[in-house]
Amino acid sequence: MRLTFTPTITVFEEYNDNVLLDNRRRVSDWITGFAPGFAFDWRGNTHRLALAYDFVAETFSRRSSFGDAFSRQNANVDAMYRPAQQVTLTLTDNFISSLDTLDISPTGVATGRTRSSSNTLTPGVAWEINPLWTARLSGTHTALRYEGRGLIDSDIYRLTPSIERRITQSLTGVAAYEFGDFDVEQEPNVTTNTPRVGARYWFNPTLSGSVSVGPTFETSADGKDRTEVAITAWLRQAFQLGYIGLDYDRGVGTAGGLGGTTENDLILGRFGLTGLVRGLSADLTIAYGHIRSSIVRSSERRIDLETLSSGVRLVYQPKTWMSVYFGYLFYEQLPNTAVGARADQNRVSFGMLFGYPLKRE
């Protein structure tokens, strides 16, 4: 059994050229931030428990009224327990509270500067029936809450049983059935049923990919039913100096505080370098999203918008207890209807993180 407790504090400076995430009211400022936190890790042969929490206190150079002692909070739980050799229980919980709605949106939709929060709870169980067959069951509850006027809260529930069959050493077939329930404020209740088939494949020891497809049968309380296509795919390439990743997801979701339900297309590309210089790592991300409602609900709000974000982060760790970082993030939101604000934002930040792990075997 091993215990590790790591207290941390981050000090940073950031320039944000659109704090309110709304081009109609563009406000820029320099922000000084302090982020105390901790990480706890407890693991053994049959269990693991990881906890992490931090909060961000910010002061603004020009607009002191924007400052907040808890402008952002993050809490994470990651637990695993193996009661038998073939059975594994898992639980994750991710909580974010922020004045920046972009921080909490799972689809990358910005709805201005207001207190908002997101919590995603995911329990799961996996049963290795034999070396060839594995059964899994997972559930997810995502709650989005907004204090801003006109923004829409939502609760999304998903339950997904699946079965996996190893066909060859490199190929695994997967069959799954996903049930979803969308409880969106001011909208009729919507349920979805999505049978899926897919596969995971190792092209070689460093390149792997997965694809899963199926129809989504959407049933609405107002009788406006529809059928869509659900697709989830990813590709991973590892190499000596880093990694490359590409993800694509198409399915029914929401448009953050703008409501829903919506049909969402999300593309994410990632590139990382870790071996050029000792202690130095670099990460580049590019994300594109297209969120649209195929059916106008009772609120008569037609949602159709596109989002694009890209960011780079450099981290240099000269000591085990200290890191220095530089980051840049560009974001743009383009609404194609009257719903949603047009916004583009540039954020440049640099800072230092201090944290010393306290270990006990």
Hey, where are the domains in the chain? 2-360
pTM flag (> 0.85): yes
How high is the pLDDT of residue 299? 46
How would you class 110 by CB atoms within 10 Å of its CB: exposed for 0-12, middle for 13-18, buried for 19 or more? buried
Spatial separation of the C-alpha atoms in residues 290 and 304, rounded to whole Å? 7
pLDDT of residue 66 exceeding 80, the answer is yes
Which one is predicted more confidently, 41 or 298?
A: 41
How high is the pLDDT of residue 224? 86
pLDDT of residue 46 exceeding 70, the answer is yes
Per-residue pLDDT of 288-336, as tens digits, reads 999 998 655 444 568 899 999 999 999 999 999 999 999 999 999 999 9
pLDDT of residue 128 exceeding 70, the answer is yes
Task: Tell me the pLDDT band of 136, cut-offs 50, 70 and 90.
Answer: very high
Per-residue pLDDT of 241-293, as tens digits, reads 999 999 999 999 999 899 888 999 999 999 999 978 889 999 999 999 999 98
How high is the pLDDT of residue 300? 52
How high is the pLDDT of residue 194? 98
Which of 345, 310, 311, 313 is closest to 326 using CA atoms? 313
Q: What is the mean pLDDT of the chain?
A: 94
pLDDT of residue 339 exceeding 90, the answer is no
CA distances (Å), 172 to each of 230, 265, 310, in order? 20, 26, 33
Residue 132: which residues within 8 A CB-CB, separation 6 or more? Answer: 165, 166
Residue 359: which residues within 8 A CB-CB, separation 6 or more? Answer: 2, 3, 4
How high is the pLDDT of residue 298? 40
| CA-based torsion, 175, 179, 184, 189: positive or negative | positive
Which of 44-48, 219-223, 297-301 has the least mean pLDDT? 297-301
At position 325, the amino acid (one-letter code) is: Y
Spatial separation of the C-alpha atoms in residues 254 and 3, rounded to whole Å? 39
pLDDT of residue 94 exceeding 80, the answer is yes
Q: Which numeric CATH code is attached to 2-360?
A: 2.40.160
How high is the pLDDT of residue 187? 87
How high is the pLDDT of residue 301? 65
How high is the pLDDT of residue 295? 59
